[in-house]
């Protein structure tokens, strides 16, 4: 079945460091891909998305490019802030029939001053 | 615009009991999906309701059931609670079944 694999955390960085969180997926067809962020005690917020190959999603300095050839959707940010500390989830959605999100296990990011 | 709201925020139940969780969808949204997020895991899809009908279901037993009302709010019912049902339950609403999902803050259920 469809699945998403993320790098295990926690990822610990100093403020202004470069961030990469790896995400690969397994799915038939052409899923849409998402990154969600979960701050402590809160639900999920959509961070960015891409709906087709080579699309780049971006928001708040975060970017991810849909790479069909490597089935990847890695999250990057050039300079992290303490406020970026959260859990990040990669997810896919098949746009046929009813639609559900399939999530990875999440990667915790800790940014220190 | 009011977002997705869930109640209660926290709940403690005893094994074998029944529980009902509630979700008010965002204004104008006719689709509600429910997810279970165990500690340290990603959310797992339970089911989706579209215009008061179940539109799809994940790999959860029948003791997980749901309902969507004419105002598109929704309930998740779990019977015969087990310890493994302890999790954060997330509700998400969307304008239509194939559009962006907006999540509530979740209900933390603890089964003892």
Phi then psi for residue B84, to 5 deg, are: -70, -10
Task: State residue B98's pLDDT score.
Answer: 72
Query: Residue B14 has what pLDDT?
Result: 98
Tell me whether A41 touches chain B (CB under 8 Å): yes
Note the pLDDT of residue A40: 87
C-alpha distances (whole Å) from A92 to each of A52, A103, B33, B75 are: 12, 7, 15, 25
Neighbours of A58 (CB within 10 A): 14
Largest alpha-carbon pair distance within chain B? 38
Contact residues on chain B for A45, CB-CB shorter than 8 A = 103
Shortest distance, CA A11 to any CA of chain B (angstroms): 15
Cβ of A40 under 8 Å from any chain B Cβ? no
Give the number of beta-carbon pairs within 8 Å between A and B. 56
pLDDT given at position A107: 97
In chain B, the N- to C-terminal Cα span, in Å, equals: 37
pLDDT at B1 over 60: no
User: Angle A8-A11-A13 (CA atoms, 0-180°, nearest 5)?
Assistant: 170
Tokens describing residue A70: 């490597």
CA A16/CA A79 separation, integer angstroms: 4
* Mean pLDDT of chain A, nearest integer: 94
The answer to whether the CB atoms of A98 and B97 lie below 8 A apart is yes
Instruction: State the pLDDT at residue B96.
Output: 78
Query: Residue A44 and residue B90: Cβ atoms within 8 Å?
Result: yes
Q: Specify the pLDDT at position A97.
A: 65
Contact (CB, 8 A) for A80 and A13: yes
Cα→Cα distances A68→A4, A98, B57, Å:
14, 23, 28
What does the alpha-carbon distance between residue B43 and residue A34 come to, in Å, rounded to a whole number?
A: 14
Can you spell out the DSSP letters for B54-87? EEEE-S--TTEEEEE-TTS-EEEEE-S--GGG-E
- Closest residue by Cα to residue A89 from B106, B93, B42, B33: B42
Residue B2: what pLDDT?
Answer: 66
Q: Is B42's CB within 8 Å of A45's CB?
A: no
Name the A residues in 3-32 with CB < 8 Å from any B CB: 4
Q: How far is CA A93 from CA A15, A51, A55, A60, A64, in A?
A: 32, 9, 15, 22, 16
Q: Extract the residue ranges of chain A whose pLDDT is less than 70.
A: 96-97
Q: Give residue-wise pLDDT tens across range B42-98.
A: 999 999 999 999 989 999 999 999 999 999 999 999 999 999 999 999 999 998 777
């Amino acid at each position: 079945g469809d699945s998403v694999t993320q790098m295990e955390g926690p990822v610990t960085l100093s403020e202004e460091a470069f961030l990469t969180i790896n995400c690969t997926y397994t799915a038939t067809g052409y899923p849409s891909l998402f990154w969600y962020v979960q701050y402590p005690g809160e639900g999920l917020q959509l961070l960015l998305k891409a709906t087709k190959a080579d699309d780049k999603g971006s928001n708040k300095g975060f970017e991810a490019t849909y790479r069909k050839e490597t089935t990847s959707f890695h999250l990057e940010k050039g300079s992290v802030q303490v406020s970026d500390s959260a859990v990040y989830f990669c997810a896919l959605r098949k746009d046929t029939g009813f639609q559900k999100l399939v999530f990875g296990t999440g990667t915790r990011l800790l940014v220190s001053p | 615009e009011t977002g997705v709201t869930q109640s209660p925020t926290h709940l403690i139940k005893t094994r074998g009991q029944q529980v009902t969780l509630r979700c008010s969808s965002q204004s104008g949204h006719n689709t509600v999906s429910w997810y279970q997020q165990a500690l340290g895991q990603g959310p797992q899809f339970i089911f989706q309701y579209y215009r008061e009908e179940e539109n799809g279901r994940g790999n959860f037993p029948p003791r997980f059931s749901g309902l969507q009302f004419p105002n598109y709010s929704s309930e998740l019912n779990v019977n015969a609670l087990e310890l493994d049902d302890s999790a954060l339950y997330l509700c998400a609403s969307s304008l239509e079944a194939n559009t962006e999902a907006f999540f509530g803050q979740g209900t933390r259920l603890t089964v003892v």
